[in-house]
Amino acid sequence: MHGVRQAKVDLLQIFYLMRLTRAMEERTRTLFLQGRVVGGVYTAQGHEATTVGAAMVLHDGDCIVPQHRDLGMHLVRGTSPRAVMCQWLARGNSPTLGRDGQIHIGDMHHGIVPMISMLGESLPVACGVAMTMKMRKRANVVLASCGDGATNTGPFHEALNFASVQKLPLVFVIENNGYAYSTPSYKQFNVQHLSERAKAYNIPGESVDGNDVLAVMESVGRAVENARSGAGPSLVECKTFRVRGHSEADKADYVPKELREEWLKKDPLKRFETYLEHEGLLSARAKAEIEERVRAVCDDAVHYAEQSPEPEAATVAEYVFAPDGPIAIVGESGADDPRYVNALDQRIGAPFSTISRTEEAISRR
């Protein structure tokens, strides 16, 4: 375990967030097996050191563009466990108002950009957010994550190339768990480390033990500060393991038993717990208090969600379709122009409305 020097309370808070991440997903899996969560359930057991560790090094005003196994990032950035459970139970007061049952959520008040289900597609969006930071001359950073499979898609390479050319304040984190659904690494790419792909875009690349939370914080922390200083983007590959299947519908029989047993010995929670005990930072009493706190938060989140209203059927079409009629782009002069390119020309040098809205949301944090 790497020796990142953090205050005692910070290390215990990291342990709590990792434990809470796993406990909430375990609770969700139980609800799914009981038929109370409808649809797919995608958990990240084994990823906790990567997701929590990567987000812990960010500052206020920074943004994340997470993927579907990044509950830990959501919790670190301030997403409420109640909101997460309402989302999984598709309640009317959930972040998507009951229109989705997965962690396809975001909250710009907390610097969280919603993910796109086609993994890899979110990375160009992250470039756009990072470009906003740069244009506004803000000392903020964007952290975007994806899995190993997404590194074989066009948007991944387009995003790295664009971020490199523009020297964007952006950190790409690859959560390499060895499988893209059921496709093992050796059938996906012909390099030893996915961080080697950074060389093609002339940006720093580093591979790290993704089950060592302090190692993740050290590596991602360096990349974040590099981006914050104006030096441009970096790529960090966190090597970890997905203990469960791609979803709860996937038994993951394609994973060799020996490989699974090897990774289970590297469980990130157990490793960090052992480290804290060895350093004299986690007593039996402190551990019991954290476990009780985790149980209480999970119980509260489930109870709150179960008592929350179902989405109303009459609102099913709201926030799904665009308003009726044509959507015109009007230049700053106020003159309508039916040609898209001319409308854009009129806006050159003026703040785009989307950038303004993003900036307003970020500034409220």
Tell me the pLDDT tens digit for each residue of 218-258.
999 999 999 999 999 999 999 999 999 999 889 999 999 99
pLDDT class for 315, splitting at 50, 70, 90?
Answer: confident
pLDDT class for 182, splitting at 50, 70, 90?
Answer: very high
pLDDT class for 355, splitting at 50, 70, 90?
Answer: very low
- Strand, coil or helix: 136: coil
**Quick one: average pLDDT of 39-55?**
94
- Output the CA angle 95-52-125, nearest 5 degrees: 55
**Quick one: average pLDDT of 185-196?**
94
pLDDT class for 335, splitting at 50, 70, 90?
Answer: low
Which residue type, as a one-letter code, is found at position 133? Answer: M
Tokens of 199: 């060389």
Cα dist from 22 to 28, 45, 295, whole Å: 10, 6, 11
* Phi, psi of 248, deg, nearest 5: -70, -10
Instruction: Mark out the alpha helices in 101-201 (DSSP H runs).
Output: 122-135, 154-166
Global confidence as pTM: 0.87
- Dihedral sign (CA 271, 275, 277, 278): positive
| CA 43/CA 23 separation, integer angstroms | 11
- Dihedral sign (CA 193, 47, 282, 110): positive
- Going by their DSSP bridges, the two strands 205-209 and 142-147 should be labelled as unpaired
pLDDT at residue 289, rounded to an integer: 97
Ordered structural domains, the chain, with CATH: 8-321 (3.40.50.970), 324-365 (no CATH)
pLDDT at residue 342, rounded to an integer: 63
**Quick one: average pLDDT of 45-60?**
97
**Quick one: average pLDDT of 163-174?**
98
**Quick one: average pLDDT of 284-297?**
98
pLDDT at residue 341, rounded to an integer: 60
- Dihedral sign (CA 116, 178, 248, 214): negative
| CA 252/CA 321 separation, integer angstroms | 37
Candidates 127, 103, 140; CA nearest to 362 is: 140
Percent of the chain with pLDDT over 70: 86
Average pLDDT over all residues of the chain: 89
Cα dist from 331 to 3, 213, 312, 326, 337, whole Å: 55, 49, 38, 16, 8
- Strand, coil or helix: 73: helix
Return the DSSP state at 205.
Answer: E
pLDDT class for 123, splitting at 50, 70, 90?
Answer: very high
